[in-house]
Every structure is written in C-alpha cells, then in structure tokens.
Amino acid sequence: MSKLKVTDTSITNPTADIKEETALQRCVNSELERYFEMLDGEVPHDLHRMVMRQVETALIDYVLDECRGNQSKAAQWLGISRGTLRGKLADSRKQQQS
C-alpha cells in the first residue's frame, strides 16, 4: 500500500485560500474593479496617488465631521499634528479648485 502525500494546502487547511478582508478592503477592491471596468482596457496613470488622495480626503472629512470641525481633536484622532492636518486641508482645497 502506498502512502498518500498531501501537498495541497487546501486539503489540509481549507481556509488557506480564503483571504481575510476587512470591510474597508472589500470596499476599496470593489471600487477598483469598477474603476478598471470604466477604463475599458486603458492603462491607468498615477493610480496610487489618486487612490490615496481620495481615501485620505474621505477619512479627514469624516473625522472632522465626527469632531464637529474641531481640528485639534481631529488631528489627535488621526494621529497627526494639527499643522499637518491644516496642510492636508489646504492641499485638498487646491485640488478641488483645479
């Protein structure tokens, strides 16, 4: 009788191929899928900057809203200095005007 050698991790560990994703990761992945569908084969440009800028803007806006506009408190929640927050807000305003 020959011995069965198991090399497929999905047999020994059925959850090995299941990627644990957070709700935020699922949201980003879903939006990226939608974005690439809209590109319809075109090559994306500066994708990292675009995604990070949009995520950062959404995060800052949400936290500021939760802090009722208190920039000191929002900066503390975000783990950045108030000056950095003010700089990011100024950059965001410039991007909206362009």
Q: What CA–CA distance (Å, rounded) separates 16 from 60?
A: 35
In a domain, 1, yes or no: no
- Evaluate whether residue 25 is within a structural domain: yes
**Is position 41 within any domain?**
yes
The answer to whether residue 3 sits within a structural domain is: no
pLDDT at 16: 53
Residue 87 within a domain: yes
The range of the structural domain enclosing residue 67 comes to 9-97
Please indicate, yes or no, if residue 4 is contained in any of the structural domains.
no
| pLDDT one digit per residue (tens) for the chain, 98 residues | 445 444 544 455 555 556 789 999 999 999 999 999 999 999 999 999 999 999 999 999 999 999 999 999 999 999 999 999 999 999 988 888 87
How many domains does the chain fold into?
A: 1
Calculate the CA dihedral of residues 50, 22, 15, 7 and round it to 10 degrees: 30
- Domain CATH number, residue 69: 1.10.10.60
What whole-number distance in Å separates Cα of residue 79 and Cα of residue 63?
11
Residue 29 · residue 21 · CB < 8 Å: yes
